[in-house]
Structure 1
Amino acid sequence: MNTVTSHIESLLKKLLVLLSALIVVGVTWQVISRYVLQAPSSVTEEAARFILIWISLFGAAYAYQTGSHLGLDIVVNKLSEKGQIFAAMLSHVFVVGFALNVMVFGGFSLVDLTMSPIQTSAALEIKMGYVYFAVPLSGLIIVVFGLNKIKDLASQVWGR
């Protein structure tokens, strides 16, 4: 499973670099079209907003995998080594539970809700379900990362 998560992490990194480059190009064009050409582009404004949503959600999954999220571990550091491992396992169980219930199941409900009575964006005229699809997809990625972290911690405790 570690090879699967490393491949997903590598793909996420590439996706985040691509999305970051796209948002820089889009916002640069927005500034040029607004101030130089005196004709602001509504398409780039909306695209930048949607790309930022995707960067936020996939960036959260990447940050979770790399351990870059902010954490308060004052109490956990006072526990024994096994206590710290169990606390880490418990936190990962909560993360997996949240990602599964809220992001995956709730996200698919949101996507379904915006795809059935087709809701489209104003400028790009794409289905909003495609934009919102980042929620369940990033949730699934977080679930995979979390389960892998739980498995690794369990093998530390039980030696498998």
Structure 2
Amino acid sequence: MEIVKNIMDKVLSGVCAALLSFMTLLATYQVITRYVFSSPSTMSEDLLSYSFVWVSLLGTALVFGQKDHMKLSIFSDNFTGTKLFALSIFTELLIMTIAVIVFLFGGTQVVGVGAIQISPTLNISMEWIYIVLPISGVLIVVYNVINIIQLVQRFTESKKEGIL
């Protein structure tokens, strides 16, 4: 599982880095066309907005996978052993449930609506923009499953070693 997670981390990090680089170049182009040539590009503005959505949602999946998301440690700081393990599993399952409902089911519906919409400036189907919702949902769920497996492995190892 660690190998799969490392591969996912590297691929997602690379995609996010590429998107951020693309966005930087696009923003620079936009500033130059607007202020130097007095001819703003609406296409680059939309592309920048869509890229921002993609990098945000893919970055969200990456952050959940690395467990770097914001969390209230008021509960987890007070628990140890089996209680901390149960809370960690519950947290992963809660995140997974939200990802399935919002990103997978909701995102799939949004993609369906986007299939009948065309971006006026880019002249592409909006489903290509919205497809990132179910993609990030799948990634979050896969990360949740990996995190749960790792939690169980660490918990059982700790029990065997007599730490818990």
TM range (shorter): over 0.9
* 2:80 match: 80
C-alpha separation in 2, matches of 1:67 and 1:5 = 12
* 1:11 match: 11
Gaps of 5+ in 2: none
In the TM superposition, what is the alpha-carbon distance from 1:80 to its structure 2 partner?
Answer: 2.1
Gaps of 5+ in 1: none
Q: Give 1:131's aligned amino acid.
A: I
C-alpha separation in 2, matches of 1:47 and 1:126 = 11
* 1:2 match: 2
Q: Deviations over 1:101-128 (max 9, x none)?
A: 210121111111221xx21112111111
- Indicate the RMSD between aligned Cα atoms, in angstroms: 1.3
Alignment counterpart, residue 117 of structure 2, candidates 116, 119, 122: 119
Q: Give 1:132's aligned amino acid.
A: Y
TM-score, normalised relative to structure 2: 0.91
Q: Secondary structure at the match of 2:13?
A: helix
Percent pairwise identity: 27
Map of 1:129-144 to 2, 5 A cutoff? 129-144=127-142
In the TM superposition, what is the alpha-carbon distance from 1:156 to its structure 2 partner?
Answer: 2.7
Map of 1:27-66 to 2, 5 A cutoff? 27-66=27-66
Q: Secondary structure at the match of 1:7?
A: helix
Paired residues, number: 158
Q: Deviations over 1:5-34 (max 9, x none)?
A: 221111000000100001001111110000
Map of 1:64-103 to 2, 5 A cutoff? 64-103=64-103
TM-score, normalised relative to structure 1: 0.94
Q: Deviations over 1:11-65 (max 9, x none)?
A: 0000001000010011111100000000000011000000000011001011111
